[in-house]
Amino acid sequence: MAGKVALLLWAQTLHLAGALTTQLLVEPPWKPAVLWDRVTLTCQGSGTAGATIWYKDRQRWGPKGPDHFTVTESGTYTCDRPRTGLSLSMTVLYDELVLQVPTRALLEGDTVTLRCRGWRNNPVTRVSFYHDGKKLGGLHDGTELSLSPLQLRHSGQYRCKGRVLSLWSESNLVTVTVHRVPPTRVSVSVQPPGGQVALGDSLVLSCAVAPGTGHLSFSWLREGSGALLGTGPCLHLRHLGDNDSGQYRCRVSDGDNMAESDPLNITVLVPVANATITLSPLSHQVRAGDNMTLRCSVQMGSAPVTFTWLHNGQEVAQGPLLELRDIDVGHSGIYQCVATNQLGQDGHRIFRALSPEMALEVTPRDTGTNRDTGVAAGIGGALLFLLLLLGVIVAWHQWHRVADRKYQERAPPDLLAPPEEGEVLYTHVVVTKRAGASSRATTLQDPQVTYTELQGPQGRPQEPGDIYGNVL
């Protein structure tokens, strides 16, 4: 819709010399506009949007910028942009009765509909239409007047008359201008040919007409954009971005007549970039026998995009998905995917994006033999522990027996001292009297223990040296 609005304003504002002028676009695309339609005005021209100056009823209105706004007051609006100057005016009415005509350029052979509207869309009855002051006869479709096919004689001033809320009202005059279409055909060519280019490339579009047509002015437009892209026979598109894709047209004027080319479709293809790998399930460590799916995707890139999978640097599969079934330890390693797209009509320009490396580790599962070996090893360890414990106990008892024996063999110092007179020496050791000495032995109640009262030859106790000498 914005492109059609731009065509009309281009026809109204383009000078024969081809100079670029400021355009005032209106939405909805009807003139004059009516306040109850929530009208939006947009100013287009050179310079930044913040440099726009608005005028209402020939008086400066508001501060600089923005370049568009929604109208809340009736009046006549114009806008000014640096270097391209002042736009044509656009009137917004709040009248009882309004006759509207489309804002697009009206070409010979087209069909156009004029509509007569009541205040705030109130019903209008008994409508009549007038062309250059003369009432038009014939049947009309209610509040609309259809002119088809348009001819040069349809140019002029129109108004309508009717009853609104039981009151007779008459609209303001509106001007209809029908442009003659020149007999020559306009064509567009592109270099390099094809219409498919890569991001950042350049194109040259050429507008051709039959020779001998005379002095012409040119205008380049892209569907969906209200801005004029150029005013010469050639349009240079440099450093194309992805938002430059679309249909381009060339329009030619000799000052009164206009013609336009068929649309030329330009597609800006984007190289692949930012390839990534995602896992399902989401884990870099899996066990043997598991299943896993790797998916490769790109953040940007025009179709068609092909994918190649690498495992430890070797190509293993094609396609965006890599299915790993019944995984074993041989699947461990480094995985990468390569995304590729071929741009341009001939497909010779190839772009690649390599994903970051992804390390995958496969852990072997425990088998039955390993479990039996583990159990046996556990039992053997327990037996070894018990044997060691038993050895410690036996050694402990043996050590104590040896210690007791050594203790018994080693008499305490008190027992080795010479006995006092009348004292009896008790010992577990069997003592034998030397020759010439008398002894008197008495057996105690414990048959295993005896004692000997040592005496000398005349009934005196023996000296300590005699005791030691009788010890076997």
Q: What is the CATH number of the domain that holds 293?
A: 2.60.40.10
Same domain, 39 and 175: yes
Per the domain annotation, does 378 fall within a domain? no
* 14 and 40 within one domain: yes
Lowest mean pLDDT among 244-258, 305-319, 448-462: 448-462
CB count within 10 Å of CB 385 equals: 10
Q: Are residues 150 and 55 in the same domain?
A: yes
Q: Distance between CA 49 and CA 21 in Å, rounded?
A: 15
Strands 203-208 vs 234-237: parallel, antiparallel or unpaired: antiparallel
The answer to whether residues 236 and 202 touch, using CB atoms and an 8 Å cutoff, is: yes
Q: In whole angstroms, what separates CA 302 from the centre of its chain?
A: 16
Same domain, 247 and 351: no
Q: Is the pLDDT of residue 56 over 80?
A: yes
The answer to whether residue 107 is domain-embedded is: yes
Domain co-membership, 118 together with 230: no
In a domain, residue 405? The reply is no
Q: Residues 387-422: pLDDT tens digits?
A: 888 888 888 788 777 777 766 666 555 544 454 444
Q: Please, what's the b/e burial string for 105-120 (b: 16 or more CB within 10 A of its CB; e: otherwise)?
A: bbbbebebebbbbbbe
Which residues contact residue 166 at a Cβ distance below 8 angstroms, ignoring those fewer than 6 apart? Answer: none
Alpha-carbon distance values, 222 to 236, 298, 469 (Å)? 13, 29, 138
Query: Domain check: are 118 and 63 in the same one?
Result: yes
The residue that leads in pLDDT, 236 or 286, is 236
In this structure, the answer to whether residues 38 and 170 fall within a common structural domain is yes
Q: CA torsion angle for 140, 146, 151, 157 (degrees, to 10)?
A: 80
CA atoms lying within 13 Å on the CB side of residue 320: 8
- Residue 193: what residue type? P
Q: Is the pLDDT of residue 326 over 70?
A: yes
Residue 343 located in a structural domain: yes
Q: What is the pLDDT of residue 213?
A: 57
- Which of 73-87, 127-141, 436-450 is modeled with the greatest confidence? 73-87
Q: Where are the alpha helices (DSSP H) in 410-451?
A: 413-416
Task: State which of 159, 179, 199 marks the end of a domain.
Answer: 179
The answer on 320 and 305 residing in a single domain is yes
Least confident stretch, 168-177, 252-261, 330-339: 252-261
Same domain, 346 and 421: no
Task: Place 9 in a pLDDT band, splitting at 50, 70 and 90.
Answer: very low
Computed from CA positions of residues 137, 141, 145, 147, in that sequence, does the dihedral angle turn out positive or negative?
negative
Interatomic CA distance for residues 189 and 204, integer angstroms: 8
pLDDT value at residue 15? 35
CB burial of 305-344 (b: ≥16 within 10 Å; e: otherwise) equals: bebbbbbeeeeeeeeeebebeebeeebbbebbbbbbbbbe
Please tell me the predicted confidence (pLDDT) of residue 421.
47
pLDDT at 106 over 90: no
* Sign of the torsion formed by the C-alpha atoms of 170, 100, 23 and 42: positive
Report the Cα–Cα distance between both ends of the chain, in Å, rounded: 137
Q: Which two tokens stand for residue 169?
A: 């009202």
| Same domain flag for 153 and 193 | no
Number of domains in the chain: 4
Where in the sequence is the domain holding 463, given as residue range(s)?
A: 415-469
* Cis amide leading into 66 (omega within 30): yes
- Which amino acid appears at position 55 of this protein? Y
| Sign of the Cα pseudo-torsion (279, 321, 293, 328, in order) | negative
Q: Give long-range contacts, CB 8 A cutoff, 24+ apart: 433-439.
A: 433/470, 434/466, 434/469, 434/470, 437/462, 437/466
User: Cα separations (Å) of 341 from 194, 272, 302, 314, 375?
Assistant: 17, 6, 7, 20, 57
Tokens at 126, concatenated: 């008994």
Residues 144-149: what's their mean pLDDT?
90
pLDDT at 373 (0 to 100): 47
285 and 237 inside one domain: no
Min mean pLDDT across 103-112, 174-183, 310-319 is at 174-183
Query: Do residue 143 and residue 223 come from a single domain?
Result: no
Q: Which of 338, 363, 388 marks a domain boundary?
A: 363
**pLDDT above 90: percentage of residues in the chain:** 33
Predicted local confidence at residue 20, as pLDDT: 62
| 374 occurs within a structural domain | no
Please tell me the distance from the alpha carbon of residue 425 to that of residue 450, in angstroms, as a whole number: 11
3-state secondary structure of 347: coil
Give the CA radius of gyration of the chain: 57
Q: Of the candidates 363, 396, 424, which is a domain's last residue?
A: 363
Does residue 389 belong to any structural domain of this protein?
no
Has residue 408 been placed in a domain?
A: no
- What's the rounded Cα separation, in Å, for the pair 105 and 221? 14
Residue 407 belongs to some domain of the structure: no
**Within 10 Å of residue 61's Cβ, how many Cβ atoms?**
16
300 has pLDDT over 90: no
Tokens matching residue 320:
């965006």
Backbone angles phi, psi at 205, to 5 degrees: -100, 135
**Residue whose token pair is 């094809």:** 194
